[in-house]
Amino acid sequence: VTGIVGALERPVVVAPMAGGASTPDLVVAAADAGALGFLAAGYKTAAQVEAQVADVRARTSGPFGVNLFVPGAPTRFRDELSAYVRELAPEAAVRGVDVGDPVWDDDDWAAKTDLLVDLCPDVASFTFGRPQPTLVTALHRRGTVVMVTVTDVAEAEQAISSGADVLCAQGIQAGAHRGSFSDDDRTDAGMTTLDLVAALRRRTGLPVVAAGGIALPGDVAAALGAGADAVQAGTAFLRSDESGASELHKQALVDSGYTGTALTRAFTGRRARGLVNRFMEHHPDAPRAYPEIHHLTRPLRSAAVHQGDPHGVNLWAGTGYRHARTGPAAAIVEWLCSAGT
């Protein structure tokens, strides 16, 4: 393997985690541990991302990446979205807030991609789709490595044809949003991380990073054994010292009252894996409408955090959440690598 993934001292990527968990502290800790950390640009303004990049660069000379959400299109399920707005209104009233405005937006894509080309982080990673070839070319000219999250071989083919340098193979076990290019459960085969890694390995010589359910040292060894060049773990770092996840979220991960995880559209309109809580159970039929539903539910989720109620909050978690440890991120990197290969 050539390039940045092959050069890592520890074959671990600390996943980008939008919504607060990813912090400059976590990225610096990853770099200092010989791993690769990512700033999560999702939901932030370009100015906020720029400030975080400056913060990381002031504190480490190690490599790091920035992750972006590739925008989709406004929902085709307008009637279902309106019905969901009506469904949530009483719950918002109980929490003492109004539902949010279910608008579509592109998460400030143009400003953020301009910024990436300008700031040239070591790696730019993309999820929910592939970057246009012109953007990839612009990033390459600046020396930035391009990584694209894929969930099946067809998406990998598209990513490769866009010029991707690294594939992040995200299996169905992964915490938070599924990175599929089209958020359609009817066409999603739901491949597991190891099956996907093996399938990509047969198809391409590009570096493959395995993501989803990497929770124990043995999972790292198994992923590398299946042909991955590194792993990308998110949930395993949620409880780390440097994680910015809320206390509510960190506590829920060790609360035996939760019986497991599931995929849901209830919080954001895009399928994402989290601990099964009451909000998820009460809204099993939320339509495909991202990020409209993200904006719709935001005031409810904020109020629930404020009220200390984990049952009204998205508690993103991968299937291996029960193994998530506390302590410095560097120690978690070390531990994950302790099984050898």
Residue ranges binding ligand FMN (CB under 6 A): 15-19, 21, 40, 42, 67, 127, 149, 170, 173-176, 179, 211-214, 232-236, 316, 318, 320
Work out how close the CB of 48 gets to ligand FMN at its nearest, in angstroms, rounded to a whole number. Answer: 14
CA 298, chain centre distance (Å): 18
Report d(CA 126, CA 112) in Å as an integer: 12
Cβ nearer to ligand FMN, comparing 274 with 299:
274
Work out how close the CB of 222 gets to ligand FMN at its nearest, in angstroms, rounded to a whole number. Answer: 14
Cβ nearer to ligand FMN, comparing 91 with 219:
219
Return phi, psi of residue 176, to 5°.
Answer: 70, -155
| Residue 316 Rama label (left phi>0; alpha psi -120 to 50; beta) | beta
Cβ nearer to ligand FMN, comparing 113 with 235:
235
Work out how close the CB of 93 gets to ligand FMN at its nearest, in angstroms, rounded to a whole number. Answer: 28
Cβ atoms < 10 Å from Cβ of 309: 15
* Residues paired with 230 in a beta bridge: 209
Work out how close the CB of 87 gets to ligand FMN at its nearest, in angstroms, rounded to a whole number. Answer: 25
Q: Would the CA dihedral through 40, 55, 117, 201 be positive or negative?
A: negative
Cβ nearer to ligand FMN, comparing 92 with 219:
219
Q: Which pair of structure tokens corresponds to residue 36?
A: 């690769």
Report d(CA 109, CA 257) in Å as an integer: 39
Query: Which among 16, 186, 30 has a CA at the least distance from the CA of 112?
Result: 16
The one-character DSSP state at 122 is S
| Residue carrying the six token digits 């290969």 | 341
Work out how close the CB of 83 gets to ligand FMN at its nearest, in angstroms, rounded to a whole number. Answer: 28
Work out how close the CB of 301 gets to ligand FMN at its nearest, in angstroms, rounded to a whole number. Answer: 13
Cβ nearer to ligand FMN, comparing 31 with 272:
272
CA 301, chain centre distance (Å): 19
| Residue carrying the six token digits 């791993």 | 35
Cβ nearer to ligand FMN, comparing 99 with 245:
245
